[in-house]
Structure 1
């Protein structure tokens, strides 16, 4: 809007036009106030009824909350106003009236259930707390992208409609593609591996993935945004270094650039950026330490995955992010490379937050014969993945990589109770709209 001034930029002595939403109306008899809210903050508009045109006063004070308005007037200093200034209006225009009965209260004075908030997400994001989460999420992505570029990565975009699933199995959403069966991609895994065999060598992607998991928990989604990394000529240890770097970069970016948002969410004094190197435990060490806590009903044995209870017990003991390395081959995907001197042991790793798993990664199998054997061991037909496997015949370098979900990162960073808080429009078993 030409000539518009944001609320936070209004200075005494200026004549301004502000545009935003009618946040609150306070009628005190001979004087009334309209609080206008825009993306920068709020500003008070003062109506002295006996000294102003009746139509102007009526327009500014009878407007329903959350209507879209513009106000033109002079800015005056007023220490009693919420922002120390107020507008004395010359004109008020209602651009889009809001119905008086709102499905939720954007001021936050009246709480709403999460389901109600998600059903009315546009209104929900007028709340400062909800808005702050997504401003922080945007800063996380900016910080991560800058870090990737600082370590020589090229950003790529891979297909989300594929002929075969990344890892096979039942966690696939089938679609009809011009009369043929296709699937929504579970991961860019195979495509990013192909890219490290190209002239790009070191790549990253930030994009959606789709998994038809039956989970219905506070930390699972069926559509998520993943941060993926893959690089030629690195091993799993070097991949963990980059992983740790992106996570620290995300926290540092938020600390540096999201002070207001952190304060809104109650983190003004206690937002902790990970400073120390993340511990790296082998799977065997992790199992031993979990069992030693005495927190589990049954001891974990070799080959068991870390249950939610096990993750919680180990996370409480360690107290910060940590890696679990050298997982059993049988519970890692076919593309994870095994140790040559111990084929029961893989070069896979996970990065854990004390609350949950964040990252899965590892060194990949770059040798054609061993890769095809891995397919067959996991009951997959290599012929269905020929577009992928044949490129390993033409000089595929050693490589490693990983992936983690933006939503889980934001959830753990801000201690959110439900992962859906970190998604604009979540997709889960129940929710397909909005």
Structure 2
């Protein structure tokens, strides 16, 4: 619509055509107001019934909330209006009429449960606070890409349909691929390693991953966005530096560029960028500190994975983002390199928010024979991964990297209660539509 004016740009004295949704109609008898909403804000349309054509008044005030309308008229100053101006209409067109019975209230005055909101995401996104989440998510992704480029990384795109799973045959979604069995990829892990082994050296990817996990919790999804890094001639410490830089870049961008969105979410006064370096705790120190909190019914011992309650107890104890390093080798995947001084310890690390894990990473095993040993130790057939393993015969440099959960980053940055709030159309065990 070439002649359209956004509501935020309407100035007294202008003759404008504004288009958007009917947010609200206030009929006060002889005078009525239609509040029109577009992506930049809201503007008041004034109807003085006795001084206007009846058809014009009927058209403007007879439409249901959330109908799409186009209004042409003069902009006048009105200090009592929400934005200090109002439009006196000369023409009103109902572009698309809405059903009067809406499945949820986009004004936010009447709450709806999350399931209803997700079933009607288009309507849900018309609420300022919901839209703010996705504006912030977009800003986070922009900032992450920019910071990766500052780390001299090249953005890549890897296959999402694969012949074998990244970590074997569990938690995979099988599909039929021209009569053969294939799978939706769990991770770009193997592919990004192969690219890091080329002359490209440092790469990142932001893309979907698919995991057929049976979890049905507020922090798990079956289709998620993974933010991945892999760097040649990097060790686990270098990868942790990059992960910390990426997380801080996200917070800094939100603080710098998303003031209105934080206001809409009620976070303007409390949002803060993490300060200082993230502490790096060894796995052994982590379980000792968890045990010392007394929050678990049973004490953790060496080799245990950290339960959710343990992560929360440690997060509360640390009070901010932190790393857990030097995990037991048996817990981490085959491609994570062990420490040369102690093969019971891996170079694997996790980056934790006080509420949950955000990142899993480590230095990768770049020596062909030891990589094959790792497959066999975890019960995997190296022959099924020959496209991957054979490249380690041709000069694979030391390399390290990580995967960061995109939705978890948004969720923890904004303090959301459910990860599905950070996804436009989430996929979980119960939800395949819309």
Show structure 1 runs of 4+ deviating over 6 A.
Answer: none
Equivalent position SS for 1:305: coil
Q: Deviations over 1:180-207 (max 9, x none)?
A: 0000000000000000011211000000
Report the Cα distance in structure 1 between the residues aligned to 2:238 and 2:185, rounded to whole angstroms. Answer: 27
1:332 aligns with 2:337: no
Partner residue in 2 for 1:59: 59
Partner residue in 1 for 2:268: 268
Residue 275 (structure 1) shift: 1.5
Report the Cα distance in structure 2 between the residues aligned to 1:99 and 1:172, rounded to whole angstroms. Answer: 42
Partner residue in 2 for 1:32: 32
Give the CA RMSD over aligned residues.
Answer: 0.5
Q: Deviations over 1:216-272 (max 9, x none)?
A: 000000000010000000100011000000000000001111000001101111101
1:308 aligns with 2:308: yes
Partner residue in 2 for 1:252: 252
Report the Cα distance in structure 2 between the residues aligned to 1:168 and 1:133, rounded to whole angstroms. Answer: 35
Equivalent position SS for 1:380: coil
Partner residue in 2 for 1:190: 190
Report the Cα distance in structure 1 between the residues aligned to 2:96 and 2:168, rounded to whole angstroms. Answer: 50
Residue 151 (structure 1) shift: 1.1
Partner residue in 1 for 2:175: 175
Report the Cα distance in structure 1 between the residues aligned to 2:265 and 2:169, rounded to whole angstroms. Answer: 40
Residue 166 (structure 1) shift: 0.2
Partner residue in 2 for 1:429: 429
Equivalent position SS for 1:182: strand
Partner residue in 2 for 1:152: 152
Equivalent position SS for 2:317: helix
Equivalent position SS for 1:297: coil
Report the Cα distance in structure 1 between the residues aligned to 2:257 and 2:15, rounded to whole angstroms. Answer: 30
1:283 aligns with 2:283: yes
Report the Cα distance in structure 1 between the residues aligned to 2:199 and 2:283, rounded to whole angstroms. Answer: 35
- The within-5 A match list for 1:404-415 is 404-415=404-415
Equivalent position SS for 1:71: strand
Report the Cα distance in structure 2 between the residues aligned to 1:138 and 1:382, rounded to whole angstroms. Answer: 39
Partner residue in 2 for 1:74: 74
Aligned residues: 434
Equivalent position SS for 1:44: strand
Report the Cα distance in structure 2 between the residues aligned to 1:211 and 1:295, rounded to whole angstroms. Answer: 30
Partner residue in 2 for 1:134: 134
TM-score (norm 1): 1.00
Q: Deviations over 1:4-59 (max 9, x none)?
A: 11111111111111110011001000001000000000000000011111111111
Equivalent position SS for 1:240: helix
Partner residue in 1 for 2:217: 217
Residue 170 (structure 1) shift: 1.8
Residue 3 (structure 1) shift: 1.1
Equivalent position SS for 1:229: strand
Equivalent position SS for 2:2: coil
Equivalent position SS for 2:55: helix
Partner residue in 2 for 1:233: 233
1:122 aligns with 2:122: yes
Partner residue in 1 for 2:99: 99
> Which runs of 5 or more structure 2 residues have no equivalent in the other structure?
none
Residue 341 (structure 1) shift: 1.6
Residue 169 (structure 1) shift: 3.6
Residue 62 (structure 1) shift: 0.6
Report the Cα distance in structure 1 between the residues aligned to 2:161 and 2:151, rounded to whole angstroms. Answer: 30
Partner residue in 1 for 2:419: 419
- The within-5 A match list for 1:288-299 is 288-299=288-299
Partner residue in 2 for 1:207: 207
Partner residue in 2 for 1:398: 398
Report the Cα distance in structure 2 between the residues aligned to 1:6 and 1:250, rounded to whole angstroms. Answer: 29
Equivalent position SS for 1:16: strand
Equivalent position SS for 2:214: coil
Partner residue in 2 for 1:364: 364
> Which runs of 5 or more structure 1 residues have no equivalent in the other structure?
none
